[in-house]
Amino acid sequence: MKNALIAWGGWEGHQPEACAEIVRGMLESEGMSVRVEQGSDVFADPAIGDLDLIVPIITQSEIAAAALENLVAAVASGVGLAGFHGGMGDAFRSAVDYQFMVGGQWVAHPGNIIDYKIHIIRPDDPVMAGISDFAYQSEQYFMHVDPGNEVLATTTFDGEHAPWVKGVTMPVVWKRQHGRGRVFYSSLGHVAAEFDVPEMKTILQRGMIWAAR
pLDDT for position 173: 99
Strand order in the sheet with 181-186: 33-38, 3-10, 53-59, 80-84, 181-186, 169-178, 150-156, 113-120, 134-139
Q: What is the mean pLDDT of residues 204-209?
A: 98
Q: What is the mean pLDDT of residues 174-201?
A: 98
Work out the pLDDT band at 29, boundaries 50, 70, 90.
very high
Q: What is the mean pLDDT of residues 93-117?
A: 98
CATH number of 3-211: 3.40.50.880
Q: What is the mean pLDDT of residues 128-148?
A: 98
Q: What is the mean pLDDT of residues 65-73?
A: 98
Q: What is the mean pLDDT of residues 77-97?
A: 98
Residue spans of the domains in the chain: they are 3-211
Work out the pLDDT band at 179, boundaries 50, 70, 90.
very high
* pTM score: 0.98
pLDDT for position 99: 98
pLDDT for position 155: 99
Buried b (16+ CB within 10 A) or exposed e, 127-166: bbeebeeeebebbbbbbebbeebebbbbbebbeeebeeee
